[in-house]
């Protein structure tokens, strides 16, 4: 009886851990490979001149807009987003967005920056061919 009681929770424990592990991979898996469009920093609330660096990916164009203020977008070869590949393009307010395909097709970190002291909701979209 004692054996039954101690073995069953262990089996349950193992099953639970496996299930959680599977869920982890399932939920955090990247977008489908066939998608040519992927969001980055989409809906991100940025504070004072804050920039948001998206997960790295293969891309050849970036689109960006801010709900409240202007934004700048660029592709970066570093995870800090401080190196600029190609040019930087910026919008001047919430009524228009900007896009940028000066970086060439490669593996980059997409970056979007709030260009104001006030809070700004950022929307970034990365494209690949």
Partner 1 sequence: MDSKLRQTTSKGIALLLIPLFLLALAGCGDGGQKASARQGRPSAVDLLHQKAAREADESSPSLRSEFALLRGPTEPVPAAVAKVVEKSLGTADTGLDLTQGQLVRTEAGSLWWVGGHGLGCIAQPRYGTVSCNTLAAIGREGIFLGVFTIPRHRDEKRRFIAFGLVPDRVRAVWLKVGRGEARPVEVEGNAYALGAGKPVKLVDLGRSR
Token readout for 39 is: 């969001």
Residues contributing to the site for partner 1 (CB under 8 A): 2, 5-6, 9-10, 12-13, 16-17, 20-21, 23-24, 27-28, 39-44, 46-47, 49-55, 60-61, 63, 65, 70, 72, 74, 79-84, 86-102, 113, 115-116, 127
Q: How far is the CB of 1 from partner 1 (least distance, A)?
A: 9
CA angle (88 as vertex; 87, 94 as ends), nearest 5: 150
Q: How far is the CB of 36 from partner 1 (least distance, A)?
A: 8
- Please name the residues in contact with 2: beta carbons below 8 A apart, sequence gap of 6 or more: none
Q: How far is the CB of 5 from partner 1 (least distance, A)?
A: 6
> What distance in Å separates the CA atoms of residue 63 and residue 74, rounded to the nearest whole number?
9
Q: How far is the CB of 111 from partner 1 (least distance, A)?
A: 9
> What distance in Å separates the CA atoms of residue 107 and residue 31, rounded to the nearest whole number?
15
Smaller CB distance to partner 1: residue 20 or 33?
20
Smaller CB distance to partner 1: residue 58 or 82?
82
Helix (H, G, I), strand (E, B), or coil: what is residue 57? strand
């Amino acid at each position: 009886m004692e054996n039954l009681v101690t073995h069953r929770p262990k089996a349950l424990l193992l099953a639970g851990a496996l299930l959680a592990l599977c869920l982890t991979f399932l939920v955090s898996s990247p977008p489908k490979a066939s998608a040519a469009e992927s969001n980055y920093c989409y809906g991100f609330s940025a504070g004072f001149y804050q920039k948001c660096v998206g997960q790295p990916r293969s891309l050849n164009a970036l689109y960006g807009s801010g709900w409240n203020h202007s934004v700048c977008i660029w592709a970066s070869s570093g995870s800090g987003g401080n190196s600029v590949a190609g040019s930087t393009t910026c919008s001047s307010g919430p009524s228009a967005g900007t896009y940028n395909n000066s970086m060439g097709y490669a593996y980059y970190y997409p970056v979007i920056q709030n260009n104001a002291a006030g809070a700004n909701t950022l929307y970034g979209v990365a494209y690949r061919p």
